[in-house]
Amino acid sequence: MSEVAIPNTSKPKQFYALMKPRVIQLIVFCALIGMVLAVPGLPNGQEIKLMLIACFGIWLVSGAAAAFNCIVEKGIDAKMRRTAWRPTAQGELQDWQTGLFSGVLCFAGCWVLYVYVNPLTMWLTLATFVGYAVIYTVILKPLTPQNIVIGGASGAMPPVLGWAAMTGDVGAEAFILFLIIFLWTPPHFWALALYRVEDYRKSGLPMLPVTHGNEYTRLQILLYTFVLFAACLMPFAYGMSSWIYLAVAVILSIGFCWYGFKLFQNYSDALARKTFRFSLIHLSVLFAALLVDHYIL
């Protein structure tokens, strides 16, 4: 998941930039899909209210995790063109300011989820915060080229959080949605890492193109798109969706596999960028198709 650079012209904008708003939008969207799919038929007024509150709580905690990430990686961010604009990398915000901001957001989000949604959703969201901000950012990312694969579990949690918010439980359907995002994450990030490889090399992060080379990374992307294709068929196979979703999933998955194959066959930075951008379209449209299919059934 990528993010958009926000001009750091004022303190409120600087703090908002720490939350990586474009990334958080996709997280909340995926959580909302989990909420909607957990409710048979059209939600009533009370369920819509619960969805909005849950989205707000998840948004707060996700923003807290993103801000904490900016503290840990400020030195790395300063070395990379993609992230050098961040307020922490620029020295516009001190660590204590960012840490306090992250702590307030996390506490507020957990309080909202615990009081107005349910304790399970709060604990799962807090566990996701720890998984991303601590286990992935502090431990995995600087130590292993499989950081994206293992750490992808945190990024795949939003539909599970959404499902838990509406049902107070976690069903098999939620884990299918989790699996799709989990398998989507490596080819998405590795496509980015391919054309940003020099940035990652300078930063010292052991991303796969740095440690194993361009060709090996391209092969992994291709293989993951094949496995992801199979996972994208699971909502239909399990009875969560109809032929409408299946048609969209097949078209999108063929597209992702085609990009993966073309990238493996003949690499260029331009094609890697297109693959990365298509991966965002793939996930967004796939989940939108699940939403549309849910209401047409």
Looking at the structure, tell me whether residues 134 and 272 fall in a common domain: no
Looking at the structure, tell me whether residues 161 and 250 fall in a common domain: no
Looking at the structure, tell me whether residues 28 and 86 fall in a common domain: yes
Looking at the structure, tell me whether residues 107 and 216 fall in a common domain: no
Q: Which of 142, 169, 196 is the last residue of a domain?
A: 169
Number of structural domains found in the chain: 2
> How large a percentage of the chain has pLDDT more than 70?
90
Looking at the structure, tell me whether residues 268 and 138 fall in a common domain: no
Tell me the pLDDT tens digit for each residue of 113-126.
999 999 999 999 99
Looking at the structure, tell me whether residues 53 and 158 fall in a common domain: yes
pTM of the model: 0.85
Looking at the structure, tell me whether residues 17 and 99 fall in a common domain: yes
Number of H helices, E strands in the chain: 16, 0
Number of neighbours of residue 251 by Cβ within 10 angstroms: 12
Looking at the structure, tell me whether residues 58 and 190 fall in a common domain: no
What contacts 294, CB < 8 A, 6 or more positions away?
A: 36, 37, 241
What range defines the domain where residue 203 resides? 171-297
Looking at the structure, tell me whether residues 273 and 199 fall in a common domain: yes
Q: Which of 169, 185, 206 is the last residue of a domain?
A: 169
For position 96, which CATH number holds?
Answer: 1.10.357.140
For position 255, which CATH number holds?
Answer: 1.20.120
C-alpha dihedral, 12 to 14 to 16 to 17, nearest 10°: 160
Tell me the pLDDT tens digit for each residue of 264-294.
999 999 999 999 999 999 998 999 899 899 8
